[in-house]
Chain A
Amino acid sequence: MRATERGLALVGALVVLVLAEVIGRSGIGGVGWPPISEVLVHVSDPSAQRLLGRALGATGAAAGAGFVLGTVVALLVTALGALLPSTAPGLDRLAAVIHAVPLIAVGPLLITIAGRDATPTLVAALAAGFAVFVAATSALAGTNPAQRDLFSVLGAGRLVTLLRLQLPAGVPLIVDGLTLAAPAAVLGAVIGEWFGARRGIGVLLVSSMQNLQVEQLWAAALAAAAVSLAAYVLLVALRGAVTRRFT
Chain B
Amino acid sequence: MPASTTTDPVTAIALSGIVKDFPLRRGEVVRALDGLDIEIGHGEFVALLGPSGCGKSTVLRLVAGLEQATQGEVAVEGARPSDLIRDHRLGVAFQEHALLPWATARDNVALPFHVAGRPVDHERVTALLALVGLSGFESARPRQLSGGMRQRVAIARALALEPDVLLLDEPFGALDAVTRRRMNLELARIWAEQRITTLLVTHDVDEAVLLADRVVVMTGRPGRVRHVHEIRIPRPRGTEVTRDPEFHAIVDELTALLDEPGPAR
Binding site for B on A (CB under 8 A): 144, 146-147, 149-156, 160, 164-165, 168-169, 245-247
Contacts and interface: CB of A to CB of B under 8 A. Distances in A.
A149 B98 contact: yes
A160 B65 contact: no
Contact of A147 (B61, B86, B98): B98
Contacts of A165: 100
A146 B102 contact: no
Interface string B84-108: 0111101010101110111000000
Given A160-B117, A169-B100, 16 more contacts: A144-B96, A146-B97, A150-B92, A152-B65, A152-B66, A152-B85, A153-B90, A153-B167, A154-B85, A160-B114, A160-B115, A164-B114, A164-B115, A165-B100, A247-B101, A247-B102
B65 A154 contact: no
Indicate the size class of the contact surface on chain B: 20 to 34
13 contacts: A144-B98, A153-B64, A153-B65, A153-B90, A154-B85, A154-B90, A154-B111, A155-B87, A160-B114, A164-B100, A164-B111, A164-B114, A169-B100
Interface of B: 61, 64-66, 85-88, 90, 92, 94, 96-98, 100-102, 111-112, 114-117, 143, 167
Nearest to A163: B114
Nearest to B82: A155
B198 to A, nearest CB: 14
A75 B141 CA distance: 27
Nearest to A154: B115
A146 B99 CA distance: 9
Nearest to A151: B115
A231 to B, nearest CB: 26
Contacts of B94: 146, 149-150
Nearest to B93: A150
B88 A146 contact: no
A155 B66 contact: no
Nearest to B112: A154
Nearest to A161: B115
Given A149-B66, A149-B94, A156 B115 contact: yes
Contact of A155 (B85, B101, B102, B143): B85
A169 B167 CA distance: 25
A142 to B, nearest CB: 14
Contacts of A246: 101-102
Contacts of A160: 114-115, 117
A155 B66 CA distance: 11
Nearest to B81: A153
A193 B101 CA distance: 44
Contacts of B90: 153-155
Nearest to B113: A154
A245 B102 contact: yes
Nearest to A245: B102
A57 to B, nearest CB: 37
A156 B65 CA distance: 13
Given A149-B98, A246-B102, A247-B101, A155 B116 contact: yes
Nearest to A145: B96
B80 to A, nearest CB: 13
8 pairs of A and B residues whose beta carbons are closest in the complex: A146-B96, A146-B98, A155-B85, A156-B115, A153-B92, A150-B98, A154-B115, A155-B88
Contact of B115 (A144, A149, A155, A247): A155
Contacts of A150: 92, 94, 98
Contacts of A152: 65-66, 85
B157 to A, nearest CB: 8
Contacts of B112: 154
B165 to A, nearest CB: 10
A153 B117 CA distance: 15
A147 B103 CA distance: 13
B33 to A, nearest CB: 19
A153 B116 contact: no
Contact of A153 (B66, B97, B114): B66
B246 to A, nearest CB: 36
Contacts of B100: 147, 164-165, 168-169
